Amino acid sequence: KQEVTQIPAALSVPEGENLVLNCSFTDSAIYNLQWFRQDPGKGLTSLLLIQSSQREQTSGRLNASLDKSSGRSTLYIAASQPGDSATYLCAVYSSASKIIFGSGTRLSIRP
């Protein structure tokens, strides 16, 4: 049974810092891995999707890596800004029917 864990559950850093969010999964037989952002009381915003054959994806200040063999993914945020404050969710596509979500990392960027 696939389980997805995100550590830390919460993170607070000063503006301008580079930071890394971690995601681990127990079953390496995955198809895709996706990172989402969720603002309080809002829906999901897709940030990056990494296919199983890929090792990383980049979009602007965001870079996501995938290491299937070790069951890990990281989301790197460069030069963090207060507007980056949100909950970041890691989601693993490990079956034909569903995505398994981690419980998220709540990020706070201090001005």
Q: Least distance from C-beta 95 to another protein, angstroms?
A: 7
Q: Cβ closer to another protein: 61 or 98?
A: 98
- The span from the CA of 108 to the CA of 111, in Å, is 10
CB of 43 to another protein, least distance (A): 4
Q: Which is nearer to another protein, 25 or 93 (CB)?
A: 93
- Side chain identity at residue 69, one-letter code: S
Three-state SS string over the chain comes to CCCEEEECCEEEEECCCCEEEEEEECCCCCCEEEEEEECCCCCEEEEEEEECCCCEEEECCEEEEEECCCCEEEEEECCCCHHHCEEEEEEEECCCCCEEECCCEEEEEEC
Q: How far is the CB of 83 from another protein (least distance, A)?
A: 20
Q: Which is nearer to another protein, 80 or 105 (CB)?
A: 105
The residue among 41 and 60 lying less far from another protein, judged by its C-beta, is 41
Footprint of another protein (CB under 8 A): 31-32, 34, 36, 41-44, 46, 49, 89, 91, 93, 95-104
Q: How far is the CB of 13 from another protein (least distance, A)?
A: 22
